[in-house]
Amino acid sequence: MTDAPVRLLLADDHPVVRAGLRAVLETEPGLAVVAEAATAEAAVARAAAGDIDVVLMDLQFGKGMTGAEATAAITARPGAPRVVVVTTYDSDADTLPAIEAGATGYLLKDAPPEDLAAAVRTAAAGRTTLAPAVAHRLMNRLRAPGTTLTRRETEVLTLVARGLSNQAVAHRLHLTEGTVKSHLARIFTKLDVDSRTAAVATAVDLGLIRR
């Protein structure tokens, strides 16, 4: 039926955020919030019920599964709902895993209400919506691939930025210490730096990672 509302699931660990999203979206014609989830795991389970068209997904849920992991789990199923990420983070470390996981849209939480509603309708129609800052960064990656970090390099540098040693990074990512050093060497070359501190600072400035 063409007049059926777009059924929404709000996935965010902050009740105030969920309430804000609900308040905005329920005033929009043709949209209906039918469920909420406070954890990524709950979002995956609820999305599998078959009565959700679009999931609005946060990226950070504290402990447990991340929003990107939940997005991958949701979109992997046949006939899955679309996922629109709604978050405060716009670094490559956040956007790329989410988009690779199958997110149809990516918006920042400071987006105007009309943009949020439009993104939901666009996602329901099977099209993509990206926040301007995210779209700009992805275009820059395509134009200057030489400075682009791989997903693994981003993971390594993010942990380095948190103060972890090579050994600790290797343990966290289930790599050998030699592999971590190789990743760092490639990162130094791409960013044209010669130290861990400079690599972190440059990557933060370029929006490749967040601190």
Q: What is the share, in percent, of the chain residues with pLDDT greater than 70? A: 94
Q: What is the value of pTM for the model shown? A: 0.71
Q: How far is CA 186 from the centre of its chain?
A: 25
Sign of the dihedral defined by the CA atoms of residues 67, 73, 74, 76, in that order = positive
Mean pLDDT of the chain: 89
Per the CB < 8 A criterion, the answer to whether 12 and 58 are in contact is yes
Model confidence pLDDT, tens digit, residues 104-129: 999 988 889 899 999 999 999 999 98
Burial class (CB in 10 A: 0-12, 13-18, 19+), 110: exposed
